[in-house]
Amino acid sequence: MNDRYQRPLHDLRISVIDRCNFRCVYCMPKEVYGQAFQFLPRAELLTFEEITRIATVFARLGVKKIRLTGGEPLIRRDIEHLVAQLAAIPGIDDIAMTTNGSLLTLEKATQLRAAGLKRITVSLDALDETIFQAINDVGYPAARVLQAIDHAAAAGLNPVKVNMVVKRGVNESQIIPMAEYFRGTGHVLRFIEYMDVGTLNGWRLDDVVSAEEILTVIDRQFPLEPLPPRQPGEVARRFRYRDGRGEIGLIASVTQPFCRHCNRARLAADGQLYTCLFNGTGHDLKALVRSGASDEELADTIRQIWTVRQDRYSELRTQETRNLPKVEMFRMGG
Ligand code: SAM
Ligand code: SF4
Ligand code: SF4
């Protein structure tokens, strides 16, 4: 099943909750998401059964890979039960999760792995405690995220990917320390260009440290060479250290957009379906499910949405597009 630009539907990102225990300045700035902010009430969240049912229909339509995200996915209680349900869907061959790591104990990592989670990405933007705690804005220590990465590895979720969003004037000083720390560990550090997701992070093009710049900085210290993509349209450009001490990824969503190959749909915690990270409106699958629609009707709806999809926001991005109405990333699922 292809969209208007011949892109197949292959990946489904599922946000399981809009809440988070961090207030990262580029995602959920504290001034906006303070005590008074109303997150989704429980009854508005899709249940595990509803998520599994929708994912099963997606699998029939060609989805092979699922990533659980949020908000912070590990805040959702018993999330490993959802992993187990998703792992049992015929056609789903890869289940991954993106997490801030704060709730990733060794026990949790082990349960997730046993339930069928194949891969995990832990976000960490700095090793320096002052810088990291200023970014997450709740004083959460980088040292504890490093422990979470160790727990994931000990539970067999290898290689662990580590996501670092680089924002100018905030954490570019951490590029080399992060590269140095993760070299030789078997974990894959991925540098992500700071994006104009949502409407509230005050994004400016000047704040973006380009993948090219990151590459130059690292290569000067630790020489790199490119690796071929594992599959066509892979989001991260891969490089390996010439001395054999592992690889890194660069995700140049702003300076080298990859819309051409974008094969992802996003299911938000409230059951809205989005076909692009930068959509301003979604399609209400929860209403459909709760009104008693059959699997066939659900499949028809998704087919109608995907086959007319024309999203390519990042290819069209300008300083002005940041002001378009967009759903916030923690709600849609990053
Ligand atoms: N809470 C989890 C976490 O932080 O890993 C999962 C959700 S979070 C929205 C998913 C990923 O999006 C994280 O790696 C985060 O760093 C990244 N992200 C959030 N805001 C971003 C932005 N403005 N530009 C680029 N990446 C961003
Ligand atoms: Fe929470 Fe992840 Fe957003 Fe940070 S990036 S506020 S950890 S959802
Ligand atoms: Fe896909 Fe939209 Fe990102 Fe382009 S901007 S890669 S279409 S999610």
* CATH code, domain with 31: 3.20.20.70
What pLDDT, on a 0 to 100 scale, did the predictor assign at position 223? 98
- For residue 53, the enclosing domain spans 11-332
Of 200, 279, 269, nearest to 19 (Cα)?
Answer: 269
53 lies in a domain?
A: yes
| For the CA of 23, the nearest atom of ligand 2 | 6
- Mean per-residue pLDDT for 282-298? 98
264 is known to lie in a ligand binding site: yes
pLDDT digit string (tens) for 214-248?
999 999 999 999 999 887 668 899 999 999 999 99
* Strand-pair partners of 266: 13, 274
For residue 3, is it within any domain?
Answer: no
pLDDT band at 117 (very low <50, low <70, confident <90, very high): very high
Please report which confidence band the pLDDT of residue 202 belongs to, taking 50, 70 and 90 as the band edges. Answer: confident
Q: Name the amino acid, one letter, at 84.
A: A
Residue 244: the pLDDT is: 97
Report which ligand 2 atom has the smallest distance to the Cα of 21: 1
What pLDDT, in 10s, does the model give residues 254-270? 999 989 999 999 999 99
Q: Are 281 and 268 in contact (CB under 8 A)?
A: no
What is the reported pLDDT for 332?
87
Across residues 274-283, what is the average pLDDT?
Answer: 94
Q: 225 has which bridge partners?
A: 240
Beta bridge partners of 248: 189, 239
* pLDDT, tens only, 123-178: 999 999 999 999 999 999 999 999 999 999 999 999 999 999 999 999 999 999 99
Range 171-197 average pLDDT:
97
The closest ligand to the CA of 98 turns out to be 1
Beta bridge partners of 132: none
Cα–ligand 2 centroid distance for 32 (angstroms): 14
Q: What is the per-residue pLDDT for 57?
A: 98
Helices (H), the chain: 48-60, 79-87, 106-115, 129-136, 142-154, 175-182, 211-221, 285-290, 295-307, 313-316, 329-332
DSSP-assigned states of every residue in 126-146? -SSHHHHHHHHSS---HHHHH
> 324: CA distance to ligand 1 center in Å?
20
Q: Is the beta carbon of 33 within 6 A of some atom in ligand 2?
A: no
What ligand is nearest to the CA atom of residue 138?
2
- Whether 1 maps to a domain, the answer reads no
For the chain, the average pLDDT equals 95
Inter-CA distances, 176 with 143, 214, 216, 218, Å: 17, 9, 11, 6
pTM over 0.85: yes
* Distance from residue 163's CA to the centre of ligand 3 (Å): 18
Distance 6 CA to ligand 2 centre (A): 32
138 in a domain, yes or no?
yes
Which of the listed residues 23, 27, 37 should we mutate to test ligand 2's pocket, taking the one with most ligand atoms within 8 A of CB? 27
The annotation status of 77 as a binding-site residue, yes or no, is no
Whether the pLDDT of residue 317 is over 90: the answer is no
Is 145 in contact with 100 (CB distance < 8 Å)?
A: yes
Q: What is the DSSP letter of 222?
A: S
pLDDT of residue 268: 97
15 annotated as belonging to a binding site for a ligand: no
Ligand 2, residues 21, 24, 125, 144: which to mutate, most atoms within 8 A of Cβ? 24
Greater model confidence, 205 or 172: 172
Ligand 2 atom 3, closest CA? 27
Relative to beta strand 237-241, strand 247-251 is antiparallel
Question: Which residues lie closer than 8 Å to 20 by C-beta, 6 or more apart?
Answer: 27, 28, 70, 71, 72, 75, 100, 330
pLDDT tens digits along 38-94: 999 999 999 999 999 999 999 999 999 999 999 999 999 999 999 999 999 999 999
pLDDT above 80: residue 201? no
* Count: domains in the chain: 1
